[in-house]
Each structure stands twice: as structure tokens, then as C-alpha cells.
Structure 1
């Protein structure tokens, strides 16, 4: 990873910060000079510790960010941590397989709330700060599954397809304020969430279909997230970068 301070003085909100992708992104942003607001439903002590070990400040906020009331409750703490937010990484989400014939509406809604509504709610909470400062970077986590023919993924693919649409539309609305919005589509990866929802056999099978034939890890998307949240990506917005070892070609 880069040792340069490409994010020096920036303040980043990372959702799902306790998990594999969120922890890795938070840690590397800190190494590059950013202070971190680690948001997760679960405790993120290890992420805060890693950020502080990198010499940066961090705070963890525990909340269900699919719940508007809980997002409203943590918003003053997000904005008050450093007086502004420069970077938002919308990483929180789940990766469920669901049989369509057994799927009920309540489960469908819950998946959309976690994977899509949470991104809207956190984005709404911080874009005023970005607008006021004339600079911002929003990075949304999508999925390469949209380019695959995988069964039992109707609600998941629907939610992640909506994330890509959200990214594209939001980029148009926020560009006048110096804010870019992009998405990353990872592959099935060996993270705690990936191992829980996907399993080792499927991870190995997917790796065999990729051009780069190894199982993806959180480290494989960190560089993309850092690029999209830096000054280097100032002319990139509304895009989805597929970081999946060459499985899907776009």
C-alpha cells in the first residue's frame, strides 16, 4: 500500500467499519492521513485501534443505519467529530442467498433497507457538510453479481443494481458542489462476511472463473477506494469500477 499522505487532513465516514472491507479501508485511509468515523451495528474497537496505531484520530458510532431515527441520532456526532465530513464510504451491507418462492415481503424489504436505504440515509446526513466545503468524495459498494447468472440472488441483485443507479444519479446532482460519487463492484471475497454468507467452496469456485485465479480479499479493493476518495479522482464521477479479478468485463 502507498505510504504517501494522499488523504492528509481529510475526515472519512466508513460504514460497516467493523467488517472486512470496512476495516481494511478505514485502516488504509488512516495510513494515508485521514481521520476516521467508524460506523457499524457491531463494535469496531479493532478498527479504531488500527486507525490510532496509524497515528490518526478515530471514533466509533454504533447504529443500525437502515433506521432513519438511528441515523438522525448519530448525525450530530458524525458532523461534530471534526466539524465536517470530506469522504463517505458506503460499505455496510449483507450478501444473502434467497429462494424466490420462499421469500416474503418483509425479508425483501429488510435486504433493501440494509443494502440501499442505509446508503441514502448516511449520504443525506453528510452531503450538506461536503457542499458547504465545496469538496467531497462518496464511494458506494455495489457488486459484480449484476454481470453474472447466479440463482437465488433476486433481492441482493436488486439492491446492488439500485446502488449503481443511485451512484449515477447522485453524481449528476452533486457535481456542481465539487462532490464526486462512484461505486466499486467487488467479487466474492474472503472476508468474515464473505465466509459467512458465501462459504469456502463457492469462493474457490468463483476464483476459478476469474482471469486472476485467486480468492479476492479486502486488500484488493482498498486501493480503488483510496483512489476514488482522493484528489487524484477529481475528474471521475458516476462510474462503477469492477474490482473482481477479471470475472466480469465492462
Structure 2
């Protein structure tokens, strides 16, 4: 399904250099949006933007190197977007640490590991949304999509700090929706189940993958394309009365 109102919208997507974040960007560019690709990796985000701008893309990708856990870095992005556009219509807070996590019992997680996960996965969406708020308020129909995880509802073992961070995102989104409702800004959580991309990770073994697929109502693995349509819908005006919701995309693995 195409969402024509996404054309000419300015959409910021974090963690956009690879994986699902890059796929979100590709979908919005296909719809004609100007997409601000945000990532900490300069080479990665610049390569992603160049690739997405090839082949006569309908929209446009613009790369920005940003550390979402650092206020000054976020402020520099806001300043640039203020000069270039004067508004932000959509924000997809996707940046997160996951694929590099070493699975272990929670009592073996170090203070540094805990703090790093929380800084990016939970502080990042709060901080960037706060800094971009004047630009979001300048839009006629701003929408924020925070990326959660159904690992929260699954009680996944081995990376409690990740589960805790994504549980925080879900609660934060609901609270944000009430604080921003008077400004006409919508906030929702897109909560994926297991999604498999080209990014290598050690957080899911082959046996675990097969077990989860067997427990799903749909017995196939999910790819990024299974997430991107929902993100486009939530940013579009077609979802203008949907806010404060957590929407799971998991093939029937769990029911919230």
C-alpha cells in the first residue's frame, strides 16, 4: 500500500546505516519523503544515503552523523534541520544496541554494559525527541514511532539489559503520547518480534530461531520489509487517530 501524503515529508530515522533502519529509510524514500539518515557510523550512513539516492529514487536521503546518546550531537542535528527545513514531520527512533550483545545471565552483566545499552536504547529516543520537539511542533501532522521489541513480552533470557531498555521505550511512548497530544503529535511503539537482516548477530542461535518460527502462527521468518509498511502507516495521516499504542509485528509468536 502506498501513502501519498508521505511525499515531501521530512522524516528522521536513527540507526539508519544498516539493517532495519536502512530498510525504513528505503520505504520512505520510495514514498517520496526526504529522509534524514542518522547514524553514529560516518562511512555507513554516507554509503547508505548514496545507495538509496541511486536509481532515480522518488524521495531523497540525507546523511547525518549523530550520537543519539549525546545532547550536543543531537543539538547539532536540530540546528541543521532548522536551517534546512524548519520542521520535522516524522521521527523513527530505531537506533539500538542489539546485534553485538554478548548473551549472559543478568547477574554477570557489567555496569558498563548496562549503561551503554540504556544510553543508546532508552536515553537516545528520549533525548533526540526532546531536542527535535520544536521542529516536530512546527509540522502540521507530526508522528513519532519508537521501536520497541517483543522480547519484552517474551521474557527473553540472556540480555536483560536490552529487555529492560525496550520495556522502558514502550512505557515512555505511552507517556509521551499524553504529554504531546495537545500539540497534535502522535507517538506509537512499533514492537517487532524476531527479524532477520544482513547484520550478523550472536544473540539468537539456529536452534532458538527454529523454535520461535515453529511457535508462530505464520511459519516463516520475518525480514525488514515486514516492519516497514507499518512504520510508513504510522507516520502517514492514515493513522491520524492512532497514538499511545504498542503494535506487535511477530507472525503470531506472542499476544499482547
TM-score of the aligned structures, taking structure 2 as reference length: 0.91
Q: 1:1-250 maps to which residues of 2 (within 5 A)?
A: 2-42=1-41, 43-53=44-54, 54-95=57-98, 96=101, 97-193=103-199, 195-250=201-256
State the Cα distance separating 1:201 from its structure 2 match.
4.1
Deviation of residue 87 (structure 1)? 0.3
**Structure 1, unpaired ranges of 5+:** none
Give the superposition deviation at 1:50.
Answer: 4.4
Give the superposed CA RMSD.
1.7
SS state at 1:122 partner: helix
Q: Say if 1:50 and 1:235 are closer, same or farther in 2 by CA, change over 3 A.
A: farther
- Out of 211-220 and 130-139, give the one that drifted further: 130-139
Q: How many residues align?
A: 249
Residues 16 and 91, structure 1, Cα contact 8 Å, conserved in 2 = yes
Return the offset for 1:234. 0.5
- Provide the C-alpha distance between the structure 1 equivalents of 2:220 and 2:93, rounded to a whole number of angstroms: 26
* SS at 1:242 equivalent: strand
- CA change 1:211–1:126 in 2 (3 A) is same
Supply the distance in 1 between the matched residues of 2:205 and 2:61 (Cα, whole angstroms).
32
Q: Is the 8 A contact 1:210 1:246 kept in 2?
A: yes
1:128-160 alpha-carbon deviations (Å, 9 max, x no partner): 112133420100000001111321222111100
Deviation at 1:219, TM superposition (A): 0.6
Against the structure 1 CA distance between its residues 28 and 98, is the aligned structure 2 distance closer, same or farther, given a 3 Å change threshold? same
Judging changes above 3 Å, is the alpha-carbon distance between structure 1 residues 204 and 3 closer, same or farther for their aligned structure 2 residues?
same
Note if contact 1:85-1:130 (Cα within 8 Å) is conserved in structure 2: yes
CA shift in 2, pair 1:5/1:50, >3 Å: farther
Tell which deviates more after alignment, 229-238 or 54-63.
54-63
Distance 1:120 1:228 in 2: 19
TM-score, normalised relative to structure 1: 0.93
* CA apart distance, 1:7: 0.3
**Structure 2: runs of 5 or more not aligned:** none
Say which SS state the counterpart of residue 36 (structure 2) adopts: strand
Alpha-carbon contact 1:18-1:40 (below 8 Å) kept: yes
Structure 2 distance, partners of 1:240, 1:59, is 29
Residues in 1 aligned to 2:140 and 2:49: alpha-carbon distance in whole angstroms: 28
